[in-house]
């Protein structure tokens, strides 16, 4: 791999952290506000839990294939042995976080579907997020009732099968009431649909949401902080309240990839300019920052870094070297008073 940009995680939570810590106002509506672990897909599942916990959230939707991390080998997989499930449940309990859903995932046989539902029951899940074959729905309907687990049909953008809620409604007809929709707001917008009207069509059948805001109404649109895009987040929340929705809301963020021009070995500083930030504030207001740098762009000293920068016309630029540390108030050490609380640097080596 010759090029991989950097990642800013959890921008949608910044600015709201203290509010969430103090009040968790969504709870009065019966909303289980958490994060899709895919937001942290460059990290392990246990690291994702740390970051979700730092945002004051207590729910997570796992996704298949994520490395578990810590002292637990392997990946998140519904076929994992019972002992490994217990290890993960203990980690969740220690963090005070509940895994409420798992997906997006399908199974290849009736036997594997049963194993998936057994996994969901063992992990205490409410929802399996999936895009199953319609021909499997009668069998899945029976499994939903047998294990008392919801199957939430997810929508990827057009031309995926379930991109339009009309298709989901037709597929659910005659099936268990536990089969419903996982409303991915962002993908509806990418498909040119009005998310509020889609929610109205699915009233009474919404089992969970992947809540995203997008910068524009197009297939190439990307995520932006809630309330700053075109997904009508205020209208979505108002509609959920009108419907008296109660259940899982998974925040999901899949954007903000940046490049670092160069890195300095002697102090771990990274040089990033405005054209790579999208917004100047992003590297400083996020809770955690992950930056990927190519090996050949690392220089030994700051002197050499300044030689590379030279008189280039870059507008705004800054060196970022991780979380600040200050202890000038009552000799109490505070991390991240200025900038992110944590920064991880990944070095990419060309093959």
Return the CATH number of 259-348, one of 3.40.50.300, 3.40.50.10420, 3.90.1570.30, 2.40.280.10: 3.40.50.10420
The residues that bridge with 290 in the sheet, in sequence order, are: 7, 344
Q: Any bridge partners for residue 330, and if so which?
A: none
- Give strand pairing partners of 31: 247
Of 97-111, 116-130, 282-296, the least confident: 282-296
Per-residue model confidence (pLDDT) at position 10: 33
pLDDT digit string, tens, across residues 39-77: 888 789 998 898 888 778 899 999 999 999 999 999 999
SS percent in the chain: helix, strand, coil, step 5:
35, 25, 40
Q: What is the pLDDT of residue 273?
A: 83
Range name among 23-27, 76-80, 118-122 with the lowest pLDDT average: 23-27
| pLDDT single digits (tens) 264-312 | 888 888 888 877 776 777 777 776 677 767 788 899 999 998 888 887 7
Residue located via tokens 């939570």: 13
The answer to whether domain 11-251 has CATH 3.20.20.150 is: yes
Conformational region of residue 122, where left means phi above 0, alpha means psi within -120 to 50, and beta covers everything else:
alpha
108 vs 11: CA distance, rounded Å:
36
**Mean pLDDT, range 175-186, rounded to an integer:** 98
Q: What are the phi and psi torsion angles at 104 (to 5°)?
A: -85, 130
Which H or E element spans position 73? strand 72-75
The pTM of this model reads: 0.72
Q: What does DSSP say about strands 6-9 and 257-258: parallel, antiparallel, or unpaired?
A: antiparallel
Question: Would you state the pLDDT for residue 238?
Answer: 96
Q: Is the pLDDT of residue 84 over 90?
A: yes
- Check whether 12 has a pLDDT greater than 60: no
Do the domains 259-348 and 11-251 match in fold? Answer: no
CB 26 within 8 A of CB 247: no
Domain regions of the chain by residue span: 11-251, 259-348
């Amino acid at each position: 791999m010759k090029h991989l940009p950097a990642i800013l995680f959890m921008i949608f939570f910044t600015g709201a952290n203290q509010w969430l810590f103090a009040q968790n106002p969504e709870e009065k509506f019966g909303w289980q506000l958490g994060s899709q672990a895919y937001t942290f897909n460059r990290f392990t599942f246990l690291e994702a839990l740390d970051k979700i916990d730092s945002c004051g959230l207590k729910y997570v939707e796992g996704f298949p294939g994520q490395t578990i991390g810590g002292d637990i080998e392997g990946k998140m997989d519904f076929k994992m042995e019972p002992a490994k499930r217990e290890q993960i449940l203990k980690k969740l309990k220690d963090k005070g976080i509940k895994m409420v859903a798992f997906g997006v995932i399908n199974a290849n046989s009736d036997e594997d579907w049963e194993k998936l539902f057994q996994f969901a029951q063992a992990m205490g899940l409410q929802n399996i997020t999936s895009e199953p074959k319609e021909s499997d729905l009668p069998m899945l309907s029976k499994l939903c009732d047998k294990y008392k687990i919801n199957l939430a049909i997810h929508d990827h953008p057009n031309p995926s099968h379930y991109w339009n809620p009309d298709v989901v409604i037709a597929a659910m007809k005659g099936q268990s009431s536990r089969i419903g929709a996982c409303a991915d707001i962002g993908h509806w917008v990418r498909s040119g649909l009005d998310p509020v009207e889609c929610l109205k069509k699915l009233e009474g059948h919404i089992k969970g949401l992947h809540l995203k805001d997008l910068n524009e109404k197009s297939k190439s649109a990307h995520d932006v902080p809630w309330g700053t895009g075109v997904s009508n987040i205020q209208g979505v929340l108002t509609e959920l309240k009108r419907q008296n929705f109660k259940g899982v809301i998974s925040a999901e963020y899949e954007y903000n990839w940046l490049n670092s021009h160069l890195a300095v070995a002697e102090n771990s500083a990274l040089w990033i300019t405005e054209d790579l930030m999208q917004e100047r504030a992003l590297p400083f207001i996020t809770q955690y920052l992950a930056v990927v740098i190519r090996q050949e762009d690392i220089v030994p000293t700051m002197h050499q870094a300044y030689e590379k920068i030279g008189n280039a016309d870059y507008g705004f630029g800054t060196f970022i070297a991780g979380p600040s540390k200050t202890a000038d108030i009552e000799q109490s050490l505070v991390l991240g008073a200025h900038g992110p609380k944590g920064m991880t640097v990944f070095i990419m080596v060309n093959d």
